[in-house]
Amino acid sequence: MSTHTSSHAFLSVLAVHGVDRIFEVPGESYIGLLDAIADFPQIDLVTCRHEAGAGFMACADGRLTRRPGVFMVSRGPGASNASIAVHTAQQDAIPLILVVGQVPKKDLRREAFQEIDYRAMFGTLAKWVFEVTAPEQMAEVAYKAVRMATTGTPGPVVISVPEDLQQQPVPRVHWRAQPHDPLRASPAGLARVRELLHTAQRPLIIAGGAFDVPGGREALLAFAQAWQLPVCVAFRRHDLFPNQHPLFVGDLGLANPPHQMALLHDSDLILALGTRLDDITSQNFTFPHHPQPAQPLVHCYPDPRVVGLHFATEVGLPCQPKGLVEELTPDVDAIYPDSRAEWARQLRGMHDQIAAWPQRDADDGVRFFEVVRHLRALAPSDLRVCLDAGTFAAPVYRHFGFEPTQRLMAPLSGAMGYGTPAAVATALREPQHRVVCMVGDGGFMMTGNEMILAVERRLPIVFILANNGSYASIRIHQARTYPTRHPGTDLYNPDFATMARGFGMAVDVIEHEDAIEATLRRALQSQGPHFIEVKASLGVTLPP
């Protein structure tokens, strides 16, 4: 190994905490750090083409590993491109570390070439922003970055490292990873929840992302079954509970019909477990009633700042939901009102109606829900579904019906451009599972270059592009609010199939619905990446 530099110290601490992959777009502002990475053969350095894609990959990686996803970018322009991933990590509660090369220390705050003050820029986006001012700080900063990114509500941390501080010799310091005891509920809190569980006639669980930990899903399932508790999953958290289970009663998302919400409001106990009760999950802060719910609210999240923040709670539990439900799952038969079974049947019946596959016709192209329907039928039980933002994804959320070992990777931030990089990062992290990426013709061209990584590393990802010639989600909004015209949402597209062939991928184009099944079958068997362009219907009835 070359001299032990400040960059070696920084990387050693990250490696001790399990960081084994770093995504990067290089810049002259951090070649010192880059050079040191060559001395860490255990770190897979993934060279990317755009900082947004690198950042989305790090987001997906952080989500899958629950360790910080790490990406490195250059100052000014690089950091600006990277900001979308910092926002997504914040909204999605993903541990993320962004390392930015900075101008030399002597030039700081002189508006030097490509300089940005990152504390100001990322001040409200990131959980913590730190600018290194001495090489000896680097190890400590890496340690704190991991702690900040992974504790409480996971989130993004930004570390700015002036270029002249990256290759200074520093003494070796041995840092150890520090496991922390999980946060547990108080005995009094547990006792109060037990009382409520014994008496509630119409209880409802809202299950959120903090269950996405090893054993979390199993613990939730055992708890729900033991007490006969219907489960609604939080925004885009469909894979937390088996969707075929009679106690699965749907998701709280962008399109819950009023009659379903009226029924959910009728519950007499809400157990919001592992969810932040965010804007979308809470139906724009209307479910439960804001700020004082109509029924007792039990709110559990492993961050005291989140518990009871938006809604007044009957019981607030700043602890891990997995541990909580394990403690509340009785060894013997639980005692609760008989009426609960009927309540669960009612909610499930409503969900079944909402989740039934649509019957709509279309004469302007392939109905994308038909692609999703066939994929559902053919999907292996360990499928990873990576979604971009767009209306093409609506049938996945509403109708797909995730099995217990299938996983959904979708941005809670609603960021377009997430799908393709997330699929590549998922396939890198979980090569044993089949990955399907679905993306619209708008979102695909916001990133998309990451496909070359899939080709380079022969990742067996099926990319499905819904080409409807439009930013259709926005066009739908226009049709509702400004029905007579729709400026700014039509798309003039390149020949996507030729593009994908140019990347070196196997390519299919679906122009008719009768080709869907055979094409998907073939793609799901592919050894490497496979690209399918679907000539899709706009999918909505629009005024002329």
Ligand X SMILES: Cc1ncc(C[n+]2csc(CCOP(=O)(O)OP(=O)(O)O)c2C)c(N)n1
Q: Which residues make up the interface to ligand X (CB under 6 A)? A: 389-392, 414-417, 440-443, 446, 466, 468, 470-474
State which H helix or E strand residue 508 sits in. strand 506-510
Output the smallest distance, CB 369 to ligand X, in A: 12
Give 227 or 496: the residue with its C-beta nearer to ligand X: 496
Q: Quick count: other Cβ atoms within 10 Å of Cβ 214?
A: 8
Give 221 or 415: the residue with its C-beta nearer to ligand X: 415
Q: What is the DSSP string of 94-150?
A: --EEEEEEE--GGGTTTT-TT---HHHHSTTTSSEEEE--SGGGHHHHHHHHHHHHH
The residues facing 24 across adjacent strands are: 47, 72
Output the smallest distance, CB 172 to ligand X, in A: 43
Give 95 or 390: the residue with its C-beta nearer to ligand X: 390
Q: Helices 187-199 and 321-328 meet at what angle, rounded to 10?
A: 60
Give 12 or 467: the residue with its C-beta nearer to ligand X: 467
Q: What is the DSSP string of 216-258?
A: HHHHHHHHHHHHT--EEEPTT-GGGS-TTSTTEEEE-SS---H
Output the smallest distance, CB 464 to ligand X, in A: 12
Cα angle 385, 388, 392; round to 5: 90
Separation between Cα atoms, residue 362 and residue 237, nearest integer Å: 30
Q: C-alpha dihedral over 86, 90, 92, 97, to 10 degrees?
A: 50
What letter represents residue 38's amino acid? A
Find out whether 502 and 495 touch, Cβ atoms under 8 Å.
Answer: no
Give 231 or 375: the residue with its C-beta nearer to ligand X: 375
Output the smallest distance, CB 284 to ligand X, in A: 17
HSE-up of residue 23 (Cα within 13 Å, Cβ side)? 33
Find out whether 73 and 100 touch, Cβ atoms under 8 Å.
Answer: yes
Give 392 or 397: the residue with its C-beta nearer to ligand X: 392
Output the smallest distance, CB 390 to ligand X, in A: 3
Give 131 or 533: the residue with its C-beta nearer to ligand X: 533
Give 415 or 428: the residue with its C-beta nearer to ligand X: 415
Output the smallest distance, CB 25 to ligand X, in A: 18
Output the smallest distance, CB 416 to ligand X, in A: 4
Output the smallest distance, CB 388 to ligand X, in A: 6
| Residues contacting residue 47 through CB under 8 Å, at least 6 positions apart | 24, 25, 26
Order of strands across the sheet that contains 248-251? 248-251, 231-233, 203-207, 269-273, 297-300, 315-317
Give 189 or 365: the residue with its C-beta nearer to ligand X: 365
Q: Tell me which residue has its CB nearest to ligand X.
A: 440
Output the smallest distance, CB 417 to ligand X, in A: 6
Residues shown for the chain:
544
Q: What is the DSSP letter of 5?
A: B
Give 379 or 466: the residue with its C-beta nearer to ligand X: 466
Separation between Cα atoms, residue 218 and residue 216, nearest integer Å: 6
Find out whether 166 and 174 touch, Cβ atoms under 8 Å.
Answer: no
Give 284 or 381: the residue with its C-beta nearer to ligand X: 284
Separation between Cα atoms, residue 159 and residue 144, nearest integer Å: 10
Output the smallest distance, CB 536 to ligand X, in A: 8
Token reading at 226: 């033991």
Output the smallest distance, CB 158 to ligand X, in A: 19
Token reading at 241: 């509970």
